[in-house]
Structures are given as C-alpha cells and as structure tokens.
Amino acid sequence: MSLSNLESENTIRLLDIIYGLYGDDKKYPNQKLPFLAGDDGSVLLDPDLITELNKDGNRDLLDWAHENIVSLFE
C-alpha cells in the first residue's frame, strides 16, 4: 500500500471512530473536539477516543492520531 493510500485509510478510519463517538453530539464539533492541542504542539486525546484507539484493530492508529488529528480539524 502506498503512503498516500495508507494516509487516506488512516484518516477515514480515525474519522469513522470519531464520528461513532461524537456524531450524536449536536454541539460537536463546535463545543467539543476529541483532542486538546497545546501551544507547544503537544496533543492530548480525549479519554473516550484513547479507549477506542487502544482496542484491537485500532492500536495502529494511536500514534498516527497524535501526529495528525490536529490537521484533520483545521
């Protein structure tokens, strides 16, 4: 799988997980993002999102999410 295909697949998988967790929140995404981004570039993922990413089949997304989630919501 090419890097761009992997990036696309990871993006879709992560956004599907996020939608599954927060899609019913009528205030989302205006009131609650699934992460906090520090001024120093650090990223703190929402505990519910971390729980989902720690499940079998999603663990490969955990590091990728930390590195890329902010750009998905810009």
Helix (H, G, I), strand (E, B) or coil at 43: strand
**Distance (Å, rounded) from C-alpha 51 to C-alpha 49?**
5
Its pTM stands at 0.83
Q: What is the dihedral of CA 73, 34, 40, 42, to 10 degrees?
A: -120
- Give pLDDT tens digits for 5-57: 999 999 999 999 998 988 776 665 556 778 999 889 899 999 999 999 999 99
What's the domain range around 38?
A: 3-72
User: Domain tally for the chain?
Assistant: 1
